[in-house]
Amino acid sequence: MMNKNVDVQKRNIEKKENASMVVATFIKYFAYIVIFFGFLWFLVQYVFPLFQN
C-alpha cells in the first residue's frame, strides 16, 4: 500500500469592497451622466437652432 502525503492548500478569497465607496462611485458616475445629458439637451435646445435658417 502506498502512502501519499498531499498538502492541500486552502484559499479564502474575501471581497474587500467598502459599501460606502461603491455608493460614492455610483453617485459620481450618475452625476457625470446627468451632466452629459444636460449638455446634450442644451445643445439641442439652444445651439442647434441657431444654425437653422
One DSSP character per residue, 1-53 reads ------PPP---------HHHHHHHHHHHHHHHHHHHHHHHHIIIIIGGGG--
The pTM of this model reads: 0.58
Comparing 6 with 28, the larger pLDDT belongs to 28
Average pLDDT, the chain: 88
Apex CA 13: angle with CA 10 and CA 16, to 5°? 155
**What pLDDT is stored for residue 34 in this prediction?**
98
Instruction: Write out pLDDT tens, residues 12-33.
Output: 887 777 889 999 999 999 999 9
Check whether 47 has a pLDDT greater than 70. Answer: yes
Which grid coordinates are listed for 44?
439641442
Query: Measured in Å, how far apart are the chain's first and last C-alpha atoms?
Result: 95
**Residue range 25-49: mean pLDDT, rounded:** 96
